[in-house]
A and B are shown apart, each in its own frame.
Chain A
């Protein structure tokens, strides 16, 4: 191995190309093996197993009575209004929170690129900080601050009491912008300065520069943030996980599945629901990736694009 590598490129020309590539592939696969094994054991097989479960009446308390019931669970799903509304609830959660998160993250990142801003590192950490607060804490913070808002404002001025729970979603969305903000900020900072200079010479104002240079240049980061948020809305955890307990999740579909699983013990139907969610989410992701061709700018860099 050492000999081949010592000779470097020259060998590649002289020796049969296949063997060297084969060897490289073999070493590469060896490095990939932990993930490959994990993927098969902990992702691929469980997903297939979940599909098999979804065709049965598997119950937590009576695994012995499990029978193959075909598509009955799927037929039941189409009659189950609660499942339907949970699914649309998850979609609504995505559509409600994501634009809010994206707009705030973009605006903040734009302010952060200004060289006039002082103490950037501390401000950045303070904004990011809220995204790592555990779920265990966050509800108490939320309930606690509502209680104080009630005492400070509502009681003092005799206002009607606030319906606090409606504020939870926007609150959580705003307090979760950390990763998106960091990714977008990173992308904004790596936009080459010359492009802005050129645009300035051509007479483009700050707003025009933002819309016609910054946004297209950072579109990959926006795309990535969108994918991350889509996953989050359906119960995946990307980058940061606050650790919601199983029976209380902000994603309605996730809570519904968890209730089906742990409260009712109906593993067969829970697997069906999980598979339906999985299909819907994968369809949305594929659509998102398809649309990427139209609005995401992919730099022509084959070195990076090809593994």
Chain B
């Protein structure tokens, strides 16, 4: 919008203008491309680390990309190949017999020639690496977490709470957008206010409510599911803003055809609101997927009910190696990212908040 130059600039020929225009477009797109590369640059490191064998991290001289030490099988033993400096140049030799002052090596290209003795401490030598990504970390990770169970639990909780949150948020948003209610303005202000209430203040009393003193819901999914059946303030807000933008004439036409409020919601409002409902549903899905706060509070005592984000986080207390945890990080991250890409056509299209009430 800001960069569009008028082709009728005085003294600028069409050709110069076109050239100028092309350069501008190219520079702009190049800038965005480089920005995105820089912006996302931490991500590849996680993938690289997840594919790196753990012993590579222990060797300070190891290369950056996932690699394995080159080994040479001699006499039924795997010998590690080192870079051995000679006066004639560096040779890649397999360490056969090590000792402090001098070591014996085998030349992998010519094993029959016998051992070569080299004077010096073998510990000062650098190992030879070849690029070789490994999936061992993934295997280890699957060994320490019950990933299928965690996925299953998350999906169950997500689906049930999704139904609840969509039903009530849509109903409430419809109520706010279409009906004249005495004091409705203040109720809506209250709704906005609840968006801004920090979760801490309600945490102690709600924990008390769910605890054995009252409802005894600890160790079940109920504290994670039931509250969503009362709607979510921010989702109601987004839906309501969108419902408001649907012309009332459509409702009135349906009303003249004899449609009641519920009928209007289902056959007039909702078909017009597919993008915003999708957005809201996805926001809720991301919320459930990333949820760890309530899981740690209420599901800490029941490992079989845990969900993916907290379950993976917990696995670090059992088995801590960074590269295995990178796999966990990757696995937890992949699902929301894939969902976002699949739904990008809808997602956030309608998160336009142009009208903010005072």
Contacts and interface: CB of A to CB of B under 8 A. Distances in A.
Give the dominant DSSP class at A's interface: helix
A111 B325 contact: no
Nearest to A34: B168
Given A42-B227, A140-B326, A140-B329, A29 B175 contact: yes
A179 B351 contact: yes
A245 B25 contact: no
A239 B35 CA distance: 25
A39 B236 CA distance: 13
Given A24-B179, A25-B180, A243-B290, A46 B2 contact: no
B74 interface: no
A135 B290 CA distance: 7
A213 to B, nearest CB: 10
Interface in B172-224: 172, 174-182, 184-185, 187-188, 190-191, 194-206, 208-209, 213
Interface in A45-89: 45-47, 49-50, 53, 63
Given A42-B206, A42-B230, A53-B204, A305 B329 contact: no
Nearest to B292: A243
Please indicate which of the listed interface residues B1, B208, B345, B355 has the most CB atoms of chain A within 10 Å of its own CB.
B1
B322 interface: yes
Interface stretch (B40-48, B84-92, B132-140): B40-48
Contact of A50 (B2, B172, B204, B322): B204
A29 B190 CA distance: 14
B197 A236 contact: yes
Nearest to B255: A5
Nearest to A171: B42
Interface in A169-203: 171, 174, 179, 182-183, 186-187, 189-190, 193, 196
A230 B357 CA distance: 17
Interface residues of B, number: 111
A125 B60 CA distance: 38
A130 B39 contact: yes
B4 interface: yes
Contacts of B190: 39
Contacts of A91: none
Please indicate which of the listed interface residues A34, A171, A273, A299 has the most CB atoms of chain B within 10 Å of its own CB.
A34
B233 interface: yes
Contacts of A111: 28, 31-32
B356 interface: yes
Given A28-B180, A42-B202, A274-B198, A186 B351 contact: yes
Please indicate which of the listed interface residues A37, A142, A304 has the most CB atoms of chain B within 10 Å of its own CB.
A304
B229 interface: yes
Contact of A220 (B174, B290, B313, B354): B354
A82 to B, nearest CB: 16
Nearest to A304: B355
B198 A231 contact: yes
B260 A1 contact: yes
Given A114-B3, A129-B337, A179-B351, A135 B292 contact: yes
A221 B336 CA distance: 26
Contact of A46 (B168, B202, B353): B202
Contacts of A282: 196
B202 A43 contact: yes
Interface of A: 1-2, 5-6, 8, 21, 24-25, 27-32, 34-39, 41-43, 45-47, 49-50, 53, 63, 108, 110-111, 113-118, 121-130, 132-138, 140-145, 147-148, 151-152, 155, 171, 174, 179, 182-183, 186-187, 189-190, 193, 196, 206, 209-210, 220-221, 223-224, 227, 230-231, 234-246, 254, 257-258, 261, 267, 270-271, 273-275, 277-278, 281-282, 285, 289, 292-293, 296, 298-299, 301, 303-307
16 contacts: A24-B179, A27-B179, A31-B179, A39-B230, A41-B230, A121-B344, A126-B39, A187-B354, A235-B200, A236-B195, A240-B286, A243-B310, A245-B310, A254-B200, A305-B355, A307-B184
Leading 10 A-B pairs by shortest Cβ distance: A38-B230, A28-B179, A31-B175, A186-B352, A243-B290, A34-B168, A46-B205, A137-B329, A49-B205, A145-B42
